[in-house]
Amino acid sequence: MATDLAAPGKRLAVKGIVVQFLVGLCMLSLSIFYDPKLSLSIILGVISFLIPHSVFAYWVFRYAGATKNRVVAQSMNQGMKLKLVLTTLIFVIAFSLLHVQPLYLLGAYAITMVSQWAAMFVLSVKN
């Protein structure tokens, strides 16, 4: 009988990603009413955290168990590197190829990041 030891962590990660997505939708809807030209900056700010963090969460929870301790640590290290590369790539594309407002892009990135921290705190205490 195989038990997925990473199942609670996977569920928590999915809930956190859903919270980030909903916060991003709220910021997008507010930006559409405030100034539609800022929407691209807001979307890219949310995407620049949401996509790399989702890839990181997938990468980290691929393996679980005491017998795979070394593989889990290696996977987490690789996931962090991949997250950094993806975030950098999205920022480079946003700032070099698209006309974005840096303050709004970085603000949306920061709000999405803080919402993830808050969600993890609230959800981990709740469970």
- Where do the domains of the chain lie? 9-121
Q: What is the pTM of this model?
A: 0.83
Output the pLDDT for position 119: 82
Are the C-beta atoms of 9 and 61 separated by less than 8 Å? yes
Burial class (CB in 10 A: 0-12, 13-18, 19+), 21: middle
pLDDT per residue over 71-88, tens digit each?
878 888 898 999 999 999
* Chain mean position to CA 125: 20
The pLDDT, as a whole number, for residue 1 is 45
> Residues 27-72: pLDDT tens digits?
999 988 888 888 899 999 999 999 999 999 888 887 766 667 788 7
Length of the chain: 127
